[in-house]
Chains A and B, each alone.
Chain A
Amino acid sequence: MACNQSSENELHRYLNRELNQEEENQLKRHLMECQNCQEHYRELKRLDGQLNFLPEIDAPDDLKHNIMHQLPQDPKVKKFSKIVREHPFIAAAVVFFIAMFSSTLTQYHTNQQIFVSSEEGVIKEGNRVIIPEGEVIEGDFTVKNAELVLEGKIQGNLTLVNSQVVSMHEHQDNFLNSVSHHVGGTVTEIDQYFVWVYHKIEHEFKNIVTFVSP
Chain B
Amino acid sequence: MDLRINQLIKQVKKGNHEAFGLIIDQYQHAIYQHCYRMLGNHHDAQEVTQEAFVKVYTNIKTFKQNNKFSPWLYRIATNLAIDHMRKKRPVSILDQPIHSNDHTTLLDKQKSKEQTPEESYERLELSETVQEALLTLPPKYRAVIVLKYVRDLPLQEIAEVLELPMGTVKTHLHRGREALRKKLVEAVRS
Neighbouring B residues of A12 by C-beta, 8 Å:
170, 173-174, 177
How many residues belonging to B are interface residues under a CB distance threshold of 8 Å? 43
A29: Cβ under 8 A from any B Cβ: no
| Contact between chains at A67 and B180 (CB < 8 Å) | no
Report B135 CB to chain A, min CB distance, Å.
13
Given A16-B155, A54-B127, A64:B177 Cβ within 8 A: no
B32: Cβ under 8 A from any A Cβ: yes
| Contact between chains at A60 and B42 (CB < 8 Å) | yes
| B interface footprint on A34-77 (CB within 8 Å = 1, 0 otherwise) | 00000010011011111111111101100110111011101000
Query: What's the dominant secondary structure at chain B's contact region?
Result: helix
Within 8 A of A (CB), among B24-38: 24-25, 28-29, 32-33, 36-37
Query: Which one, B54, B177, B178, contacts A67 given CB within 8 A?
Result: B54
Report B16 CB to chain A, min CB distance, Å.
11
Interface size class of A (residues with CB under 8 A): 20 to 34
Neighbouring B residues of A117 by C-beta, 8 Å:
none
Which chain B residue shows the least CB distance to A39?
B185
Within 8 A of A (CB), among B104-124: 107, 110, 124
Within 8 A of A (CB), among B10-31: 14-15, 17, 20-21, 24-25, 28-29
B93: Cβ under 8 A from any A Cβ: no
| Contact between chains at B14 and A68 (CB < 8 Å) | no
| Contact between chains at B124 and A56 (CB < 8 Å) | no
A201: Cβ under 8 A from any B Cβ: no
Report B119 CB to chain A, min CB distance, Å.
13
| Contact between chains at A43 and B181 (CB < 8 Å) | yes
Which chain B residue shows the least CB distance to A59?
B32
14 CB contacts below 8 A, A to B, read A44-B181, A46-B107, A46-B184, A47-B130, A47-B177, A51-B145, A53-B110, A54-B149, A55-B124, A59-B32, A59-B33, A68-B24, A70-B50, A71-B17
Report A105 CB to chain B, min CB distance, Å.
33
B164: Cβ under 8 A from any A Cβ: no
Given A49-B110, A86-B14, A54:B174 Cβ within 8 A: no
C-alpha gap A53/B107 in the complex (Å):
12
A15: Cβ under 8 A from any B Cβ: yes
B53: Cβ under 8 A from any A Cβ: yes
Report B24 CB to chain A, min CB distance, Å.
5
| Contact between chains at A82 and B130 (CB < 8 Å) | no
| Contact between chains at B170 and A67 (CB < 8 Å) | no
Given A64-B28, A67-B54, A82-B15, A15:B124 Cβ within 8 A: no
A106: Cβ under 8 A from any B Cβ: no
| Contact between chains at A71 and B37 (CB < 8 Å) | no
Neighbouring A residues of B32 by C-beta, 8 Å:
57, 59-60, 63
A9: Cβ under 8 A from any B Cβ: yes
Which chain B residue shows the least CB distance to A79?
B15
B81: Cβ under 8 A from any A Cβ: no
B6: Cβ under 8 A from any A Cβ: no
Neighbouring B residues of A52 by C-beta, 8 Å:
149
Which chain A residue shows the least CB distance to B34?
A57
Neighbouring B residues of A66 by C-beta, 8 Å:
46, 50
C-alpha gap A44/B25 in the complex (Å):
35
